Chain A
């Protein structure tokens, strides 16, 4: 940019006789005026200096795609032989002596790289067009690094471009699915009722395995999904001490389904995530009635809703999960620890 300005300043100071309409508008810093004149007849035989002024104005107006054309036109018009030789050398992998190439040509490459960089940075959504623009950007970044021109600045812009492309890619939601197997523990509550209004709470502590999967959409930051699994396990139950009732059962089978929506925040590049779920649990478990006459079991609803905190640690396609939840309508909790694999 500095070199371009310097060249322009020289032109103005020398009072070179190219007193065109372009120069007048440019002197007034009316870049829109320069652009208008150019648009009126783009194929006009502009001088090299006029083309430089038009290019500068286009950049000022952020018309980067037109600026690309202008710089290419300048290269073809003024430095075509140099350009062809340079491309040939790069293709052959030859060592390049950057002193053999004019500074002005390097500045044109610099302008081209920056123009493509600005185009890429202006994207707010990921699209196929970025790929093409990025390819062009990389060509000029490569040429500049071979010419050892403003290397530090080139590297800095490269990093910025890569970060922007990654950010745009991370915004794109993609379908995701996986299967998992969990070791799960959950509690069911029932009531032991007897004569004369006797009632005592029973807590069944179950453990088992839950096999299932999830379907959803995720991008680089969020995961929205529905997951479900079928579980099978067993649990034990005993009457609370002090009730005077002897009631105890072991390994009472239990099976059912756990299904619900969830949302997670993806917190690292390894795709580890933390989120919440609202699982609905359908549990089938039948407790035997006590042997004592007039005593019976009142089972609670087989369907319960819970809220849970969910975390997932990803090792490429495999992952480990933990989930800890509490039923909405009662004190009991449900938790699981498992592993899964993404499709």
Chain B
């Protein structure tokens, strides 16, 4: 039965963060809109214009305002850039998280400021050379043992594209691995440790061909962490365009510190269902080898993310996650998350997510757990 479930995920299969579902608008590569070729972080001028004209609703603009004018107002603080060397951006994301809604005993509500970044981009006019510095507030991960600052940089790097097809990037970046979906708590991000706080210092090579895209990433861990817990290693990700508009890919990553070794691999797909509708899927596995051998285990995961765009600016989506903590044991869970995303105007995103988690175990059966979150995202 689980095999059947995984097969469906596979046949149906880049932030803190990026929106890989925009393949539904025909954008196969993240480099179209982001300075970071793997997605995430600051948008290019083109990306901002696309956010204003293709992604966000046009309903709030006066009819007399042309798309060209809308695109021009997508710059920092509504202005068209007057030079081509420096860009500044501000980004905020926060949400109300409600766990066990409706339960008189266990309902909890919490407002979380997930991200408040100021970004500076120094670049050549053609974006061939780029330096990105991203600094701001982000909460400490829950249960973190580390003495981690809440005000910190989650991204800073320099990049140079030797040719349009090939570029080298060095600095603190996300690891190149799998689908960089915006929901950093999804199992395809938590299991191989590629969440919003898992950036590493390293060097990333990026190849963008006509039909294929590749990333090689060698890293030394996050240098702001203590040396013994820095995850050092490397990753490789490959994507190929199929049937002109879809993408399939694979990733492998090895990382280790003094206590833990991780070996992860995954296959993924992104399908363009036209006019903004898209399907994303990833299945993968992570083998953990720890100092204390009783922690050794191999975890398996799968995700299916579906987007439908009935009207410009509005996306209905469903996140389906499968996670088996230890493939040698039977229990697993499936988390089902329908939601709604609305971009009423460029620079503003509202989002509502519902999460229903169901546990499957041969020895026990329990009621599902529920949570929902209401999110606001503002970028200037």
Contact = CB atoms under 8 A, between A and B. Distances in A.
A238 B364 contact: yes
A250 interface: yes
B318 A333 contact: no
Contact of A236 (B276, B304, B358, B361): B361
Interface in B233-285: 271, 273-277, 279
A205 B361 CA distance: 9
Interface string A212-243: 00000000000000000000010111100000
A111 interface: no
B289 to A, nearest CB: 31
Interface string A242-276: 00000010110000000000000101111011100
B273 A314 contact: yes
A322 B11 contact: no
B271 A313 contact: yes
Contacts of A335: 334, 336, 356
Interface residues of B, number: 37
28 contacts: A183-B1, A183-B4, A183-B5, A203-B365, A205-B360, A207-B1, A207-B360, A209-B4, A235-B365, A236-B365, A238-B364, A251-B362, A268-B309, A270-B273, A311-B316, A313-B12, A313-B273, A313-B277, A313-B279, A314-B273, A331-B367, A333-B358, A335-B334, A335-B336, A337-B9, A337-B304, A339-B8, A339-B11
A55 interface: no
Contacts of B356: 324, 333, 335
A238 B363 contact: yes
A185 B358 contact: yes
Sorted nearest first, the 9 A-B pairs with minimum C-beta distance are A268-B275, A267-B310, A270-B274, A268-B274, A238-B364, A268-B277, A272-B277, A205-B365, A320-B12
Contacts of B11: 320, 339
A274 B336 contact: no
A68 interface: no
Given A202-B365, A269-B275, 10 more contacts: A209-B4, A237-B365, A238-B364, A267-B277, A270-B275, A313-B273, A313-B279, A335-B334, A337-B9, A339-B8
Given A314-B273, A339-B8, A339-B11, A203 B367 contact: yes
B194 interface: no
A309 B338 contact: yes
B273 A337 contact: no
**A interface bracket (residues with beta carbon within 8 Å of B):** 35 or more
A336 to B, nearest CB: 10
A318 B176 CA distance: 32
A269 B334 CA distance: 31
B197 interface: no
